[in-house]
């Protein structure tokens, strides 16, 4: 291993189970020499899976609901104590829509649910950044990465109000990226990831169809969670110091495709 994160301290949000993208990021970050705190919503801790990851990565767990300023304050303060200094990287790997969960059609959304979708999936990034900013908890040249999806730019009807959440998430990365970059040289980016088999991903209706569609359309096929983890590691590292305020497509080329013969020719032709 190259150990490109040697000496770096991080906070990783969103490892629910072995399928989670955040789980793979934690495994890779540990291999690359980082020390970090794992966090998730208190309710997600009940599954207990995260304890296995913590043991494997020699990491401590600090529960935090990403919609609670109080929890986030405690998370950053305790993480700096546990890790012995300011934080160098943060992974925001959080998404949830009650409208999707309860299969509400886009033309009949429940607005309390919609608020919740935006709060959990997008405003939480602002909360994380604002908490860190006020506590001056992130080192100069630190890197914050959040995970997004191409439904922020293009219409994927079954993605429902998560599309609005991702558009907002990417906007927060640009806006806060400006302020944090100016003030402390902290970088903020989003990675727009291929459809990936995880709890959040497979909860979207028709997931199998758009997973297969994207896989056939992309010249490289869909990027896996492990590939996404590698990309996150590169963005946490010092090799990408001048990258900020970007939405970076990590999708095997899907986002720049127009047509692919494999999609129009019947099988076998
Ligand atoms: N799976 C995909 O197809 C795909 C594609 C592109 C982007 N993404 C994004 O990747 C990120 C990670 O999702 P995943 O696919 O690994 O699924 P996942 O279900 O494993 O992860 C989602 C995480 O969000 C956490 N979470 C929900 N509410 C929270 C709250 N209030 N506070 C703190 N954490 C909370 C969950 O506990 C869970 O760990 C999400 O932002 C998702 O939208 C996923």
CATH number at residue 128: 3.40.50.720
CB within 8 A of 179, min separation 6: which ones?
A: 133
CA 269 to centroid of ligand 1, rounded, Å: 39
Does the beta carbon of 191 lie inside 6 Å of ligand 1?
no
Residue 185 is assigned to a structural domain of this protein = yes
CA 67 to centroid of ligand 1, rounded, Å: 14
Residue 220 is assigned to a structural domain of this protein = no
Pairwise CA distance, residues 40 & 45, whole Å: 7
Does the beta carbon of 190 lie inside 6 Å of ligand 1?
no
Residue 268 is assigned to a structural domain of this protein = no
State the pLDDT at residue 210: 84
State the pLDDT at residue 266: 63
Confidence (pTM) = 0.97
Residue 266 is assigned to a structural domain of this protein = no
Does the beta carbon of 16 lie inside 6 Å of ligand 1?
yes
- Report which protein residue has its CA nearest ligand 1's atom 39: 14
Residue 156 is assigned to a structural domain of this protein = yes
State the pLDDT at residue 1: 59
Residue 33 is assigned to a structural domain of this protein = yes
Of the candidates 25, 142, 31, the residue with the CA atom closest to the CA atom of residue 80 = 142
State the pLDDT at residue 117: 98
Q: Is the dihedral of CA 194, 198, 204, 207 positive or negative?
A: positive
Does the beta carbon of 195 lie inside 6 Å of ligand 1?
yes
State the pLDDT at residue 72: 98
Instruction: Specify the number of domains making up the chain.
Output: 1
Q: Which domain holds residue 118?
A: 9-210+225-254
CA 26 to centroid of ligand 1, rounded, Å: 14
CA 198 to centroid of ligand 1, rounded, Å: 8
Residue 144 is assigned to a structural domain of this protein = yes
Could you tell me how far CA 226 lies from the centroid of its own chain?
13
For helices 49-57 and 21-31, give the axis angle rounded to 10 degrees: 20
| Under 8 Å between Cβ of 225 and 198 | yes
110 secondary structure, DSSP code: -
Does the beta carbon of 65 lie inside 6 Å of ligand 1?
yes
State the pLDDT at residue 46: 84
| Under 8 Å between Cβ of 105 and 51 | no
Mapping DSSP onto H, E and C, the string for 163-213 reads HHHHHHHHHHHHHHHHHHHHHHCCEEEEEEECCCCCHHHHCCCCHHHHHHH
Give the atom of ligand 1 at the shortest distance from the alpha carbon of 162: 43
State the pLDDT at residue 250: 98
Residue 186 is assigned to a structural domain of this protein = yes
What φ, ψ does residue 133 adopt, rounded to 5°? -60, -45
| Per-block mean pLDDT, blocks of 10 residues, the chain (269 long) | 92 97 98 98 90 97 98 98 98 97 96 98 99 98 98 94 98 98 98 93 86 95 98 98 98 96 69
């Amino acid at each position: 291993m190259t150990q490109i994160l040697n000496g770096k301290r991080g906070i990783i949000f969103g490892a629910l189970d072995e399928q989670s993208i955040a789980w793979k990021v934690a495994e890779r970050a540990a291999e690359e020499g980082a020390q970090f705190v794992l966090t998730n919503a208190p309710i997600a801790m009940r599954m207990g899976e995260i304890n296995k990851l913590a043991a494997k990565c020699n990491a401590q767990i600090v529960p935090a609901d990403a919609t609670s300023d109080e929890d986030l304050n405690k998370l950053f303060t305790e993480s700096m104590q546990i890790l012995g200094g300011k934080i160098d990287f943060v992974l925001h790997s959080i998404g949830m829509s009650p409208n999707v969960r309860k299969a509400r059609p886009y033309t009949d959304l429940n607005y309390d649910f919609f608020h919740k979708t935006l709060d959990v999936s997008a405003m939480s990034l602002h909360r994380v950044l604002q908490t860190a900013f006020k506590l001056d908890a992130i080192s100069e040249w630190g890197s914050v990465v959040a995970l997004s999806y191409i439904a922020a730019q293009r219409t994927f009807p079954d993605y429902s109000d998560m599309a609005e959440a991702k558009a907002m998430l990417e906007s927060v990365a640009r806006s806060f990226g400006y302020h944090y970059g100016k003030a402390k040289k902290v970088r903020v980016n989003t990675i727009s990831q291929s459809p990936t088999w995880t709890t959040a991903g497979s909860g979207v209706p028709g997931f199998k169809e758009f997973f297969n569609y994207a896989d056939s359309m992309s010249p490289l096929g869909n990027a896996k969670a492990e590939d996404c983890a590698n990309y996150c590691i590169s963005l946490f590292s010092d090799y990408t110091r001048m990258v900020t305020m970007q939405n970076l497509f990590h999708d095997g080329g899907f986002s720049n495709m127009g047509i692919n013969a494999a999609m129009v020719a019947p099988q076998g032709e």
